[in-house]
Amino acid sequence: MSDEILHMSWQSPNVERLEGNHVLITRLTPDTDVDDLYEVSHAKEEYKALWTYMPYGPFRDKDEMYAWLLSIKDSRDPLFYSILSKEMSRKVGMIAIQNINARMRRAELAHVWYGPMAQKTKVNSEVVYLFLRYLFDDLKYRRVEWKCDNDNIPSKRAALRIGFAFEGVFRQHMIVKGKNRDTAWYSIIDKEWTERKKNFERYLSMDGLSLTKLNQVDANLLP
C-alpha cells in the first residue's frame, strides 16, 4: 500500500443504495421491509432455522419483528440494509456493516441472513461483491472482516467460497442466546481485492462458473 493511501482522510460508510444485476440493496426501512422479511424467514417452521446462529430471532410474530427492525433502523454501527432479489421481486434478507474503524479503514460484513428461497443463488455473492467494491474501491479500506459462530458450517463455507481467508478461532468470544460462542474469523485485505474482484465479476457474468474454484479455495481449510 502506498504512503498516499495510508495518509488519506478517514471516511465512514454512508452508502444508501447499491445495485447489481441480481439485487438492490437499500438502507433498512421497517415500514416497507417487514412484510417481506417476516414472510421469507417465518412463513414455514423450517425457515426459522436460519436464526439458529443469530443473536436474535426467530420472532413470535410480525409485530415483534417490526419492533426489532425499528430498534435497529437508525443504528450507525451496525449499519443495516435490506436486500431485494430482482428475480423474485421481493426482499429476501439483510446484511450490515459493523465494527467500523474509519481511522484504520477496516469494517466487518455481518448480520447476514437470507430466506431459504434466496440461498444457493447469486444473491449473496453479488451482495458481498457490491459491499466489498464500495469499501475497497470507493472508501479505500484496507481490510474487511467476516465472522461467524464456529459451529455455523454454511457460513464458514460461504466465507471461503467468496474469497475470505481464514485467520483463526476466538474461543469463548461471545455469549449468544445463553451459550458460549467460539467465533471463526476471516478477512480480505486490499492487496487481495484486485484478484478477488475479477473472480466475482467473472462468476456473476457467466453461468456454470464456480466462485470457489476461481478463488482457488480448499474446503479443507475449514477449522
pLDDT digits (tens, 9 = 90+) for 78-116: 999 999 999 999 999 999 999 999 999 999 999 999 999
Query: How does pLDDT run across 117-147, given as a tens digit for each residue?
Result: 999 889 999 999 999 999 999 999 999 999 9
Residue 207: pLDDT band with limits 50, 70, 90? confident
Q: Which residues pair with 185 in a beta bridge?
A: 147, 168
Return the domain boundaries, the chain: 3-221
Cis check: omega of the bond before 78, within 30 degrees of 0: yes
Residue 209: pLDDT band with limits 50, 70, 90? confident
Q: Is the pLDDT of residue 212 over 90?
A: no
Q: Is the pLDDT of residue 217 over 70?
A: no
pLDDT for res 31:
98
Cis check: omega of the bond before 58, within 30 degrees of 0: yes
Query: How does pLDDT run across 171-206, given as a tens digit for each residue?
Result: 999 999 999 999 999 999 999 999 999 999 999 998
What is the C-alpha radius of gyration for the chain, rounded to an integer number of angstroms?
17
> pTM of the entire structure?
0.93
Q: Which residue has the cell 449499519?
A: 79
Give residue 126's identity as a one-letter amino acid code. Answer: E
φ/ψ (deg, to 5) at 50 = -65, -15
CB atoms within 10 A of CB 131: 21
Query: How does pLDDT run across 55-85, given as a tens digit for each residue?
Result: 999 999 999 999 999 999 999 999 999 999 9
Q: Is the pLDDT of residue 222 over 60?
A: no
Q: Nearest Cα to 138, choosing from 13, 50, 22, 26?
A: 13
Cis check: omega of the bond before 154, within 30 degrees of 0: no
* Segments in the chain forming alpha helices (H): 3-6, 30-42, 62-72, 123-133, 153-162, 190-205, 211-214
Residue 6: pLDDT band with limits 50, 70, 90? low
Give residue 192's identity as a one-letter amino acid code. Answer: E
SS3 state of residue 220: helix
Asked if 22 contacts 114 with a C-beta cutoff of 8 angstroms, the reply is no
Homologous superfamily of 3-221: Gcn5-related N-acetyltransferase (GNAT) (3.40.630.30)
pLDDT for res 151:
97
